[in-house]
Every structure is written in structure tokens, then in C-alpha cells.
Amino acid sequence: MGWNNVFRLLQLISLTVLYGRPLSTIQKVGAVDCSGDATGFCKSKLGKGVEPPAFATVFNGDVKVIDDNDTLRSVKKLHDHTTEALLGIENLIVNVNSVQHIQSRMLASSPPPGKTSVAVLLLTDKYETSPLYASLAYRHRRDGFAAFGESRAANLQMAKKFGVKKYPLLVALIGSDEKVERYSGSLDAESLSTWLDSLSKKYITSKPSGSTSSRRKRTA
């Protein structure tokens, strides 16, 4: 397939790109052949005045063409561009810089009947959001978590609250800031995603013991 017929869709979710660090951003790279029957589809996504080959980011189904040639000069520049776009998604990650913010910004919404509010909080000594954490929040944004939060710059009040001994510290708040599950695994995308999946299954998507189906079985 020639480059003249390729429309690349870049998503910050799957193919791991390493820069010599254990914390790496997850990216998915897709390609669409814009020849033949797909021509109309590509034009509808690219918009007027744009012809393939073209590059674009895709967030929540919204396609935005990358028209800055400087961005396309290197993988790192493309990585930085997509990371910036990801962090620009409203309410993807909430800033938590006091204990009071845990309830007001992360656990304020009521969970569905029979479910538990689960919020994920990253405590870090960095001043900027980790691209890996942002990509995980995006990947698991529809898994039922109340919020993904971040406390940056070694916040002393938050460190005391959670007894931080080493950064980064990732915790799950189960219904309140009193019931906490700490992550203790490897700081790689696959391990972190598996942990988030387990939290979702354990507290959010599992059926409560007193569900209608359970009662029917007992009375049958």
C-alpha cells in the first residue's frame, strides 16, 4: 500500500513507545487505505482541502488533522503533540491539591444503586502530568471510575494523609478516603491497566450479592 493512499489515525492507547524510561506513553497507530470505496470515508474525516496522505489524532471519535509540518519531523515531536492533545481533554484528570478536594472533586458524584464509587489517585513529586497516567485515564475513562485524580509536586498535606514514603504512589479510593487500595506492582502500562481492570470488576461491574437474579434463584 503506497503512502499516497494512506490516512494514518493516531490514538493514545496501545503501541508502547519507549524513551529509555519505565514510564512510557501508550499509543495506537492505525492506517486506512484511502483508495477506492474508502475515498469518501477519508474525505469526510479529513475535511475540506485536505488530501491523503495525512496524519490526525483521534480522541473520543473526534478526528483532528495535524497540519503542522514541524510536528511530523520526529516521533518525539509527534508524541509530544498527541500527549498535549490528550491532556487537553476536559476532566480527564482532576487536580487534587488538598484533602478536601478528594471528596469535592473525586467522590462527589453518587454511584449507581448497588455500586461503589471508586476513584484513582496518583501522588507524585513531578510538576507535570505523566503521559502514561493520562493515557491510562483515557483508556479506562468508560470503566465506571468516579474520577482520575493527581496530586503533584510532593504535596505535603496529601503525602501525610496517605503516608507516602516513595513517589509515585498510586491508590484507589473505595467509596471514601478511608478505604484505600495501594498499587504495588510494576510501573508499566500493561500491569497498571490490569490493576485498573481488576478494580472495575471487583467494585463497579460485579453484581451485588442481593441482586434480583440472586433472589430469584433462592426462591425458585
Q: Which amino acid is at 72?
A: L
Which of 29, 28, 30, 56 has the alpha carbon at shortest distance from 135?
28
Helix (H) or strand (E) holding 210: none
Alpha helices in 13-115 (DSSP H): 39-46, 75-87, 99-101
Same domain, 107 and 82: no
Residue 12 has pLDDT above 80, yes or no: no
**Cα gap 208→211, rounded to integer Å:** 5
Specify whether the CB–CB gap between 148 and 92 falls below 8 A.
yes
Supply the pLDDT for residue 119.
Answer: 96
pTM of the full predicted structure?
0.72
Q: Is residue 137 part of a domain?
A: yes
- pLDDT tens sequence across 149-158: 999 999 999 9
- pLDDT tens sequence across 188-204: 999 999 999 999 999 98
* Confidence bin at 44 (pLDDT 50/70/90): confident
87, 121, 155 - which closes a domain:
87
* Confidence bin at 209 (pLDDT 50/70/90): low
Q: What is the CATH number of the domain that holds 181?
A: 3.40.30.10
Q: Is residue 186 part of a domain?
A: yes
- Domain of 72? 3-87
Range 156-165 average pLDDT? 96
Same domain, 69 and 109: no
Same domain, 171 and 135: yes
Same domain, 68 and 120: no
Q: Is residue 180 part of a domain?
A: yes
* Confidence bin at 127 (pLDDT 50/70/90): very high
Range 103-132 average pLDDT? 89
Q: Is residue 17 part of a domain?
A: yes
Q: Between 216 and 168, whose confidence is greater?
A: 168
- pLDDT tens sequence across 111-122: 777 778 999 999
Pull the grid cell for residue 141. 475513562
Helix (H) or strand (E) holding 186: none
Supply the pLDDT for residue 64.
Answer: 83
**Cα gap 173→137, rounded to integer Å:** 15
52, 87, 122 - which closes a domain:
87
**Cα gap 80→43, rounded to integer Å:** 26
Same domain, 82 and 106: no
Report the residue count for the chain: 220
**Cα gap 166→146, rounded to integer Å:** 25
Number of domains into which the chain is organized: 2
Query: Which residues, in sequence order, are bridge partners of residue 124?
Result: none
Residue 212 has pLDDT above 50, yes or no: no
**Residue 33 three-state SS:** strand
Cis peptide bond N-terminal to 53, omega within 30: yes
